[in-house]
Amino acid sequence: MPTSDPALDNLALDIEGVCIDYGSTKRRTRVVHDVSLTVAAGETVGLVGESGSGKTSIAMAALGVVATSAGRILVNGRRIDPAHRGSAVAAGAQAVFQSPYSSLDPAMPIRAILAEAAVHLRLPRREVDARARAVLDEVGLDPRITERYPREFSGGQRQRIAIARAMMVRPRLLIADEPTSALDLSVQAQVANLLMDLQERHGMSYLVISHDLALVHHLAARMYVMHRGRIVEAGPADEVYRTPQDPYTRALVDAAPLPDPAAQRRRRARAAASQVELPR
């Protein structure tokens, strides 16, 4: 059964020495190598890296969906074990994923989508409906939309519904995996600001996973940078963003678009001189 350690209660997420392998028993490929990171209670931490760096595997392991080959993961002091279904949810973790188009069941009305998230709480129907209306209002949507279907909403509205679904169980840890990357730029800012508002209101902890170092710099107090399954740099978000030490982190910074074309060319020239391939 999941265990609790009172000494770790001030950490919303504690990942220590985690390795993750994929493949058959005879042909295993290690995609995450000895990763350790923490998220304190009420803190926002970013995990940055390009596609294939291993960051989503870390998220799935923290949610109890992917098994680890070594190390341990604790959420709010409780050990996460894929063999015990729902251990992450029981520990107070929820997730918001990248695509608002694939993360909501198109055959279900919004009322059913939100109710399904809270089914393990065994609340009376009246309380579930009241909570659904409350979380929709919190994310900036009309509570009267509960009988409508996901196809009737824009991408930004769908992502707000996905956030509302996570909020149905009042999580202590929210894992946001590329929460804005499928959205238009103006909507990205709205969703990022919504996440910040919800954290201020409820005191949740966030692990924000993204390839966008600028977004993580905006949201997070600390950040970790992953490359080829390893943590290559970690520290205060502002420090990592402004004075990156690892060549790969510098490449991530240099890959971010700038509004000034001349400044963008100078940045690209520096990246080329460093001989580090820019993430695509």
Selection from 180, 167, 104 nearest residue 138 by Cα: 167
Query: Which two three-digit tokens encode residue 138?
Result: 């919190």
Residue range(s) of every CATH 3.40.50.300 domain in the chain: 1-92+171-243
Backbone angles phi, psi at 162, to 5 degrees: -65, -40
pLDDT for 56: 94
Residue 9: is its pLDDT beyond 80?
no
pTM above the 0.75 mark? Answer: yes
**% of the chain with per-residue pLDDT over 70:** 89
Residue 264: is its pLDDT beyond 80?
no
Is CATH 3.40.50.300 the right assignment for the domain spanning 1-92+171-243?
yes
3 contact partners, CB below 8 Å, separation of at least 6: 78, 79
* Distance separating alpha carbons of residues 206 and 33, to the nearest angstrom: 23
Mean pLDDT along residues 80-85: 84
For 94-103, write each residue's pLDDT tens digit. 999 988 888 8
DSSP β-ladder status, 44-48 and 70-75: unpaired
Selection from 59, 56, 66, 65 nearest residue 15 by Cα: 59
What region, left, alpha or beta, does residue 38 occupy, with left being phi > 0 and alpha being psi -120 to 50 degrees? beta
Instruction: Transcribe 57-98 into DSSP letters.
Output: HHHHHHTTSS--SEEEEEETTEE--TTSTTHHHHTTEEEE-S
What region, left, alpha or beta, does residue 59 occupy, with left being phi > 0 and alpha being psi -120 to 50 degrees? alpha
pLDDT for 135: 97
Structure-model confidence comparison of residues 86 and 56, the more confident one: 56
* Distance separating alpha carbons of residues 185 and 212, to the nearest angstrom: 12
Q: How many degrees, rounded to 5, is the angle at CA 15 between CA 11 and CA 167?
A: 55
